[in-house]
Structure 1
Amino acid sequence: MTVLELRNVTKTYKMAGGGTFQALRGISASFNAGELVAIVGESGSGKSTLMNTIGGLDSDFGGEIIYEGKNLAKYSTQELVDYHKKSIGFIFQNFNLIPHLNLLDNVALAMTLSNIDQKEREKRAKQLLEQVGLGEHIYKTPDEISGGQKQRVAIARALINDPDMIIADEPTGALDAETTTIVLDMIKDIAKSGKLVLMVTHSERVASHCSRVIRIDNGKLLDDVEQEQVQFLSKKTNDNFQIKNMSVLNAFRLAVLNMKAKFGRNALVALGSSIGIMSVVLMLSLGKGVTSYVKNTMNSYTNPKVTEVHKSSTTKNSNMSAKATGDSSTQAQANQNVLSSLTGTGSDSTFTKKEISKLAKLKYVDKVQKGFSTISLGTTSVTYNKKSASIIQLQTMSSSVTKSNITRGHRPGKNEILLDTGTADTLGKNIVGKTVTLTMTVNSKQISKSFKVAGTYSQSSNSSSATVFARYTDLQKLYKENGATLKANVIYLTTKDKEQTAKVKTKVKKMGYTGSIQETMTDMFSDMLSIITDVLTAIAAVSLVVSAIMILVVLNISVVERTKEIGVLKALGARRKDIRRIFVSEAFLIGFSAGALGDAVTYILSLIANHFSQSLFSINVVALTPKYAIIGMLLSIIISMLAGLMPANSASKLDPVDSLRKE
């Protein structure tokens, strides 16, 4: 039964300096099942080139190599892959076993590439290893066995998918005489089982064991002699195996085995990469920790259910714009408007009934309070027993002032005020309960009125700015008594649930209003901290570039080191996609390891930093969240895989013939 037919096969190489070299010159022959054919010739005669073309490793040839009725030169990429997997097996002179795989995995490799179930491929590999006398050594690596044993492993690997043909390239060239005989007997048995065996050799002794001898010289077929009649014992059985393409899972498994083989180097690469990941995650966590502390501190003395609404910011901005662009009279008016805005007396700063009504109708708002706030420009003071304290800010009481704000005393009642702790200390240690005189400007005239000090107020652990709180109704009455009308320049919106407050604040901002000065300062500090965090994170991210370059270099070195391995994989039927997957999987493993290590180190550092910050300041300065840990992990994996794409692509493009020649 004819298995393979050569029809006027030619092969021409282009020379580096120009010109061509014809390695094969019209080779024609046919080969039958069960034949053991020796292809004999001196070095450079073309026998290896012929084997490469028959083996499908080189499809750029002239003429025809017919297998199953079709010329190999016209095979598609997938057809060539299938040809390598189920139709042909290779036995190499130098064994070409993969050093970091044990004998079982080496033999099962072709079935791994064919995506055969693990149990089935291990069972088949064990049977073949036992058949070649290595059943007791299946978990050893190639460097733990002799040369003859390595060649027997190579024979078992060639038979794993039960192919029609076996190509043996100088299979006894690296063996002693005794081992040569053993190997030749095994190869003869393979031919008797019904397979076509093509054996390249320059040894007449080896050729004498073959059923047929073909001699080649200078690319031409000189002689074709049948030495004995072929009698084979059985037929092929490879139809029992369903050949598929290698799965991503099997590519990942091979990558894991490859990583284990170079564990020390890969661990150092992962460690180096983890430093960049740790730096980025630590900067993000530090920024969040500090920002959260600032926000919590600023918000701890405000009622979380109250939204403070102002109009003054927009007025100031427009006035400042007018001041910058107008003539002298416009600038003067702008100055007055800014002054009115600061003191809270400007018409653009106050709320109309319509605006208050609109705010009151917002969803989630349960209560609306009018308020008044003014910045004193040296005209407001509090006097007690000939001691006087200047007041910077006069405000009305609202729900935003909580019990935690009042350090002594209680909320002010009728004709009562609340002093900040600094002002209270200036006037006297026991000022609470005493009557003081409040001097202020109403309707362009200086007036004084007596108030009782209900308590003291503090907005933080330190003394706040000089501030007086009075009831809105008391100020309203005072203004009326002096021929003026008090207009609300602050509105307080109260909700039942603090989670609804955020929604109200968002809506208020969309309406063009601003929040409290405290909120504005909080936002300003938060923005500043965000910018600082981004800058520090960007600086830390520079190390990620170094990590990517390091991974790129290591994987490129790996490609060079494993060039022959890549050639073997392609000879066994690995697709370019399979090679890429293996190397990209290795990059993924490096990235995952670096990310995990970086997150772990960051977590440990955060515990240490927070331990000291709690002891010194009672705060957690580093806020490592799952989000940042995941960002670090993803960043590490993405950078590693991007760095691994170029080496993976280079590996997939390696020519199998050149790869197998690599020393």
Structure 2
Amino acid sequence: MEILQLKNLIKLYKLAGGGTFEALKGINASFEAGELVAIVGESGSGKSTLMNLIGGLDSDFSGEILYRGKNLRDYNAKELSDYHKKSIGFIFQNFNLIPHLNLVENVALAMTLSNVDKETREKRAKELLAQVGLTDHLYKKPDQISGGQKQRVAIARALINDPDVIIADEPTGALDAETTDTVLDLIKDIARSGKLVLMVTHSDRVAAHCTRVIRIDNGQLISDENFGGFKVTEKAADFKEPKIKNMSLYNAIRMAFLNMRAKLGRNALVAFGTSIGIMAVILMLSLGRGVTNYIQSTMNSYTNPNVTEVHKQSMMPAANSTSTSQAEISQMQQNNMAALTGSSSESNFTQSDLKKLQKIKHVDSLETGYTTLSLGTNSVEYGSKSATIMTLQTMSANIIKSSIVSGKAPGADEILLDKGTADILSKNIVGKNVTLKLMIDGKQVKKTFKVSGTYEQQGSNFSTVIMRYQDLAALYQANGQTLSPNVVYLYTKNKDNTEKIKEQVKKLGFSGSMQETMTEMFTQMMDIISYVLAAIAAVSLVVSAIMILVVLNISVVERTREIGVLKALGARRKDIRRIFVSEAFLIGLSSGLLGVGMTAVLQVLINNFTSAKFDVNVVSMTFNYALAGILISVIISMIAGLLPANRASKLDPVEALRKE
């Protein structure tokens, strides 16, 4: 049965200096199943060129190569890939086994490219290795067996998908005489099984074993001797031909992993180098977050988490203010000073303001208050001792019990002093009567109050007096003044709602406490510093990307022949790209994971030190930071791997197989 036919086959090569060279000059021949054809000729005669064309490794020709009636030149990329996987098997002179794969994996390679399941391809590979007498060497690597055994592995690989045509390019050229006879016997058996075997050779001794000898000289077929084909034996019925598919992403990643494992030392160094950059980026972000968390927790520890402090206008310039006008800055300072000293009515809340705040969702109760800053006009006296009061504020739920270090919260006609001021007046001031002097509308007012307790300063060195709003309002009224609230405290039973309430307060045009504004400004500043430091650390990732690019380019050079073998077995350009991009992905993934791991170790070491010295953890790595570090590592690695992967996919299989 005719399988292959050549009609007026011509192959031209373009010469570097211009012009062309005719390697094949109108070859005509037809071949049938069961033939063992020796194609004999001296070096440069055109026999290897003919085999490359028949094998579909080179599609640039004139004339026709008809495989089962269809010209190979008319095959599209998918059809040509399927032709390599299913119809053609290659046996090379130099075996071309992939060194980091064991014998089973080498033989099953074509099935791997066809996405055949692992169980099926391993079973088939073991059966073929048994047929060629290598049952005891299944899991050895190619460098652990002899030359003759390597060629038998190559024969088994050529048969894995049960192709119609076997192309053997000088299959005995690298073997001794005894091994040559063994290999030729195996090749004869292949032809007897009904396959067409085309064997390129320059040896008449080898050609004598064939059923047909074609001689080529100077690109022309000069003789064709047919001695009659073998009697074809029936094909074994226990092999079910697999369905040809494309290689899966999983198999591409697996092949990439096996190659990386073979070059473990080099790839580990590349991954480690990249991981240092990833670690630096994550560490800078985590350090910024840790310091910010510490400041926020310290500031918040003095306030009730269920309470939101509200002011009519900000006590500080907006954290994101971009105003550059000197007049605007000066006016803002004047407004702030008026608000701080209580001399501005614009900072007072109206009944309308209070109703708006009361309607905010999750607010369970509202408490009015008053706070003012005096510039040496207010004081408190005990006996002969006096202390200037900088801040006067009213008692609220925002002052938590843990802040009161002695005594209790103020009741009627009682005040609370900060501990520093209390120590100035007397070590045992709690329960004693003191005289409070306040400046109200330009007039100094005196009144006696009992000291109910002392409290710890809220991150401030200001001397402070705290009293009930009712008492301060009564004092104002007694002097013909009306006290209007300039601060409001919103209480919620569930502290998880506090942040939502704060967001609504800002939407209504009000602002938070000075402490809250300062915390926001500090947080923004720390974020900027963290991102700048992370960006500086990220510069090292550029070096890492270049390193990965260089390593993968070296890998392409080292594996040029392997790429040629893969293409001969049916690998598409896409498959080759996937394998190399997968290697870049695995390098990036391992770098990212290593970077995260190193950051975690450093976090423990740094936090142990700072916790022992300062009772604070300054590094706070989050899951998002870790994930971002891994993703950045993977993305940079894959981008760096695109160029080498694309270069590998475009390698000409004929040239790749010639690579020494």
Q: Same fold (TM over 0.5)?
A: yes
2:650 aligned partner: 653
Deviation per residue, 1:34-54 (Å, 9 max, x gap): 111111111111111111110
Among 536, 544, 568, the residue aligned to 1:539 = 536
Deviation per residue, 1:99-137 (Å, 9 max, x gap): 111111111111111111211211111111111111111
Give the AA of the match of 2:282.
Answer: V
Among 416, 423, 434, the residue aligned to 2:421 = 423
2:245 aligned partner: 244
Give the AA of the match of 1:547.
Answer: S
Give the AA of the match of 1:302.
Answer: T
Alpha-carbon distance in structure 2 between the residues aligned to 1:169 and 1:631 = 51
Give the AA of the match of 1:591.
Answer: G
Query: CA, structure 1 residues 415+556, in 2 after alignment: closer, same or farther (shift >3 Å)?
Result: same
1:313 partner SS: coil
Query: CA, structure 1 residues 315+612, in 2 after alignment: closer, same or farther (shift >3 Å)?
Result: closer
- Tell whether 2:579 aligns with 1:578: no
Deviation at 1:577, TM superposition (A): 1.4
Deviation at 1:235, TM superposition (A): 5.0
Query: CA, structure 1 residues 334+300, in 2 after alignment: closer, same or farther (shift >3 Å)?
Result: closer
1:240 partner SS: coil
Contact conserved, 2:315 with 2:339, CA < 8 A, in 1?
no
Alpha-carbon distance in structure 1 between the residues aligned to 2:325 and 2:583 = 64
Query: CA, structure 1 residues 463+648, in 2 after alignment: closer, same or farther (shift >3 Å)?
Result: same
- Tell whether 2:633 aligns with 1:639: no
Deviation at 1:303, TM superposition (A): 0.5
Deviation per residue, 1:481-512 (Å, 9 max, x gap): 21211111101111111011111111001111
Alpha-carbon distance in structure 2 between the residues aligned to 1:259 and 1:587 = 10
1:475 aligned partner: 472
Give the AA of the match of 1:487.
Answer: S
Alpha-carbon distance in structure 2 between the residues aligned to 1:28 and 1:274 = 60
Alpha-carbon distance in structure 2 between the residues aligned to 1:659 and 1:642 = 25
Alpha-carbon distance in structure 2 between the residues aligned to 1:239 and 1:292 = 65
Alpha-carbon distance in structure 2 between the residues aligned to 1:322 and 1:655 = 64
Alpha-carbon distance in structure 2 between the residues aligned to 1:538 and 1:324 = 33
Contact conserved, 1:421 with 1:463, CA < 8 A, in 2?
no
What number of residue pairs does the alignment pair up?
657
2:143 partner SS: helix
Deviation at 1:369, TM superposition (A): 0.9
Contact conserved, 1:90 with 1:166, CA < 8 A, in 2?
yes
Deviation per residue, 1:443-467 (Å, 9 max, x gap): 122222222211112135x774211
Alpha-carbon distance in structure 1 between the residues aligned to 2:240 and 2:495 = 71
Query: CA, structure 1 residues 189+339, in 2 after alignment: closer, same or farther (shift >3 Å)?
Result: closer
Alpha-carbon distance in structure 2 between the residues aligned to 1:218 and 1:102 = 41
Contact conserved, 1:322 with 1:334, CA < 8 A, in 2?
no
1:592 aligned partner: 589
1:450 partner SS: strand
1:106 aligned partner: 106
| More divergent stretch after superposition (365-374 vs 246-255) | 246-255
Alpha-carbon distance in structure 1 between the residues aligned to 2:102 and 2:618 = 50
Deviation per residue, 1:339-374 (Å, 9 max, x gap): 422212212111111111111111111111111111
Contact conserved, 2:348 with 2:487, CA < 8 A, in 1?
yes
2:312 aligned partner: 311
2:440 aligned partner: 442
Alpha-carbon distance in structure 1 between the residues aligned to 2:104 and 2:414 = 91
Deviation at 1:323, TM superposition (A): 8.7
2:384 aligned partner: 386
Give the AA of the match of 2:8.
Answer: N
Among 352, 357, 364, the residue aligned to 1:366 = 364
Contact conserved, 1:36 with 1:211, CA < 8 A, in 2?
yes
Give the AA of the match of 1:207.
Answer: A
Query: CA, structure 1 residues 236+35, in 2 after alignment: closer, same or farther (shift >3 Å)?
Result: farther
Alpha-carbon distance in structure 2 between the residues aligned to 1:549 and 1:352 = 64
Contact conserved, 1:95 with 1:154, CA < 8 A, in 2?
yes
Alpha-carbon distance in structure 2 between the residues aligned to 1:172 and 1:203 = 9
Give the AA of the match of 1:527.
Answer: Q
- Tell whether 2:487 aligns with 1:490: yes
Contact conserved, 1:315 with 1:348, CA < 8 A, in 2?
no
Alpha-carbon distance in structure 2 between the residues aligned to 1:474 and 1:53 = 104
Q: List runs of 5+ in structure 2 lacking aligned partners.
A: none
Alpha-carbon distance in structure 1 between the residues aligned to 2:608 and 2:332 = 53
2:45 partner SS: coil
Deviation at 1:421, TM superposition (A): 1.2
1:207 aligned partner: 207
Query: CA, structure 1 residues 322+571, in 2 after alignment: closer, same or farther (shift >3 Å)?
Result: closer
Alpha-carbon distance in structure 2 between the residues aligned to 1:392 and 1:223 = 115
Contact conserved, 1:552 with 1:643, CA < 8 A, in 2?
yes
Alpha-carbon distance in structure 2 between the residues aligned to 1:321 and 1:575 = 60
Deviation at 1:239, TM superposition (A): 6.4
- Tell whether 2:37 aligns with 1:34: no
Alpha-carbon distance in structure 2 between the residues aligned to 1:123 and 1:316 = 76
Alpha-carbon distance in structure 1 between the residues aligned to 2:333 and 2:517 = 23
Query: Alpha carbon RMSD of aligned pairs, Å?
Result: 2.1
1:478 partner SS: helix
Deviation at 1:624, TM superposition (A): 2.4
- Tell whether 2:221 aligns with 1:224: no
Alpha-carbon distance in structure 2 between the residues aligned to 1:315 and 1:547 = 44
Query: What TM-score results when the alignment is normalised by the length of structure 1?
Result: 0.95
Deviation at 1:314, TM superposition (A): 7.7
Deviation at 1:547, TM superposition (A): 1.7
Query: CA, structure 1 residues 417+526, in 2 after alignment: closer, same or farther (shift >3 Å)?
Result: same
Contact conserved, 1:396 with 1:472, CA < 8 A, in 2?
yes
| More divergent stretch after superposition (44-53 vs 377-386) | 377-386
Deviation at 1:412, TM superposition (A): 0.8
Among 620, 627, 630, the residue aligned to 1:630 = 627
Contact conserved, 1:315 with 1:341, CA < 8 A, in 2?
no
Alpha-carbon distance in structure 2 between the residues aligned to 1:198 and 1:323 = 88
Identity %: 66
2:94 aligned partner: 94
1:78 aligned partner: 78
Alpha-carbon distance in structure 2 between the residues aligned to 1:308 and 1:459 = 17
Deviation at 1:478, TM superposition (A): 1.2
Deviation per residue, 1:150-174 (Å, 9 max, x gap): 1111111111111000001111111
| More divergent stretch after superposition (361-370 vs 375-384) | 375-384
- Tell whether 2:506 aligns with 1:509: yes
Deviation at 1:419, TM superposition (A): 1.1
Contact conserved, 1:595 with 1:634, CA < 8 A, in 2?
yes
Kindly report which structure 2 residues correspond to 1:221-300, keeping only aligned pairs within 5 A, or say none. 221-234=221-234, 240-300=241-301
1:403 aligned partner: 401
Deviation at 1:405, TM superposition (A): 1.2
Deviation at 1:440, TM superposition (A): 2.0
